[in-house]
Amino acid sequence: MGLLVEGKWVDEWYDTESTGGKFVRKDSSFRDWITKDGKIDDEDRKAYPAEKGRYHLYVSLACPWAARALMVRKLKGLEDIVGLSIVSPLMYDKGWTFGDYPGATEDKVHGFKYLHELYTHVKPDYTGRVTVPVLYDTKEEKIVNNESSEIIRIFNHAFDDLGAKEGDFYPEDLRDEIDEINDFVYDRINNGVYKAGFATKQEVYQEGAKNVFDALDKIEEILSKNKFLVGDRFTEADIRLFTTLVRFDSVYFGHFKCNLRPLTSYENIWRYTRVIYNMEGVPETVDLDHIKTHYYMSHDLINPNKIVPIGPEIDFSL
């Protein structure tokens, strides 16, 4: 685990000293876009034109944020349009590393060994964390975007004229509702489990973990009335929640100590998780070995002996 400081790799765990034991997530650095014609009505962003084979997605199968991008790439049928490289789940002192683990690949664009080399390739003086997912332009050799919530919106439409599957996960008429539930789910659940798990003070952990379960109670109530988070339509809000839920009992319950109760004990949330898991294409984006191996073996401070638990056995069938 580490980060780049002016282009130099520094091996360092998250700083929770200066924040009273709290884990505070930094904003992503690359925020450009891809549109059908390379035009965008937003002066803060550049837009790249959609082209088959030009863009490449870097993911970890362990990471819930990268899994959102992987899931939308699959659901929109972009496998032949946007390339894919998968890092090893073992993230040690050099950060995300390619190959050398079943299911991981080499860096199919540059053949780099470490993901941080891609970041300094595009920005030699880069300072910041080296995170997945990364959406990369192989033509201009630039990182287009490394923020999963934006990458999934790019995938939602940018390649629709180039053979993407039908499907709109951010429909115009539901945007306000989706934005509202996304904010809640991000703060309390997606990032909520990290706030509990990476806390280095008891009271910070307790508050974080309690927030997770209060939020799950609210989600349980919503799902007792609706099939999905926003009525009966499956949207990006569900994709964003799902990638955390599918990891919950395997890692967040044990490794991040979010253990008030297992997810399987929530009747509606557990049914909802299985409904999404069983959608066409979704199981191929969930790799519980990468998920468990990454968290338990890479977070030295939490699990110094790197023992990966044998369970739980989870049955995702409906």
Ligand X SMILES: N[C@@H](CCC(=O)N[C@@H](CS)C(=O)NCC(=O)O)C(=O)O
- Residue 131 contacts ligand X per CB under 6 A: yes
User: Least distance to ligand X from the beta carbon of 60, Å?
Assistant: 6
- How far apart CA 74 and CA 65 sit, in angstroms, is 15
Phi, psi for 97 (deg, rounded to 5) = -130, 145
- Residue 23 contacts ligand X per CB under 6 A: no
- Left (φ > 0), alpha (ψ -120 to 50) or beta: where does 90 sit? beta
User: Least distance to ligand X from the beta carbon of 26, Å?
Assistant: 8
Burial 227-260 (b: 16+ CB within 10 A, else e): ebbbeebbbbbbbbbbbbbbbbbbbbbbbbbbee
User: Least distance to ligand X from the beta carbon of 79, Å?
Assistant: 20
Separation in Å, CA 73 to CA 78, 148, 200, 236: 5, 12, 36, 12
Which residues are 4's β-sheet partners? 9, 128
Among 107, 137, 147, 287, binds ligand X (CB under 6 A): 147
- Residue 285 contacts ligand X per CB under 6 A: no
Please write down the HEC assignment for all residues of 8-28: EEEECCCCCCCCCCCCCCCCC
- Residue 238 contacts ligand X per CB under 6 A: no
Q: Which stretch binds ligand X (CB under 6 A): 101-109, 127-135, 197-205, 263-271?
A: 127-135
194 is catalytic: yes
Binding map of ligand X across residues 50-89, x = CB under 6 A, - = no contact: -------------x-x------------------------
> Using only C-alpha atoms, what is the Rg of the chain?
19
The one catalytic residue among 194, 252, 266, 272: 194
Among 4, 82, 86, 132, binds ligand X (CB under 6 A): 132
136, two tokens: 């990369």
User: Least distance to ligand X from the beta carbon of 225, Å?
Assistant: 29
The one catalytic residue among 63, 101, 205, 295: 63
Please give the residues from 169 up to 228 whose contact with ligand X meets the rule CB under 6 A: none
Active site residues: 63, 194
Residues that bind ligand X (CB under 6 A): 1, 28, 63, 65, 129-133, 147-149
